[in-house]
Copies of this chain bind each other. A is one copy, B any other.
Amino acid sequence: MAPLRLALAQVNPTVGDIDGNVELVLHWTRQAVARGAHLVAFPEMMLTGYPVEDLALRHSFVTASRQALESLPARLAAAGLGETPVIVGYLDDRGDSPAGPIPIAGSPAGKPSNAAAWLYRGRVVARATKHHLPNYGVFDEYRYFQPGSTLSVTRLHGIDVALTICEDIWQDGGPVAVTRRARAGLLLVVNASPYELNKDDVRLELTGRRSAEAGCPLAYVNMVGAQDELVFDGDSIVVSESGQVLARGGQFVEDLLVLDLDLAEAVSDASATLPASEPSAGIQIVRTEISAEPLPSYPMQPGPVAQRLTDEAEIYAALVTGMRDYTVKNGFSSVVIALSGGIDSALTATIATDALGAAAVHGVSMPSRYSSEHSTSDAADLAGRLGLHYRVVPIEPMVATYLANVELTGLAEENLQARVRGTVLMGLSNQYGHLVLAPGNKSELAVGYTTLYGDSVGGFAPLKDVPKTLVWRLAAWRNKSAEEHGQQPPIPENSISKPPSAELRPGQLDTDSLPPYHVLDDILGDYVEQDRGVAELIAAGFEPELVDRVLRMVDAAEYKRRQYPPGTKISFKAFGRDRRLPITNRWRERVKPGS
Contacts and interface: CB of A to CB of B under 8 A. Distances in A.
A189 interface: no
Interface string A44-62: 0000000111110111110
A411 B431 CA distance: 7
Given A426-B453, A430-B411, A534-B60, A14 B106 contact: no
Given A60-B533, A135-B142, A586 B106 contact: no
B419 A426 contact: yes
Interface in A160-204: 167, 171, 174
Interface string A433-463: 0000000000000000000110001010000
Contact of A402 (B398, B404, B407): B398
A328 to B, nearest CB: 10
B167 A580 contact: no
B422 A406 contact: no
Contact of A325 (B416, B424, B584): B584
A228 B583 contact: yes
For chain A, give the interface size range: 35 or more
Contacts of A410: 431
A188 to B, nearest CB: 20
A402 B420 CA distance: 9
B402 A16 contact: no
A489 interface: no
A330 to B, nearest CB: 6
Contacts of A453: 422-423, 426, 453, 457
A29 to B, nearest CB: 21
Given A17-B587, A431-B412, A581 B426 contact: no
B402 A584 contact: no
A582 B141 CA distance: 15
A523 to B, nearest CB: 15
Given A142-B106, A228-B584, A427 B452 contact: no
7 contacts: A15-B587, A17-B586, A53-B580, A60-B533, A228-B582, A397-B404, A408-B431
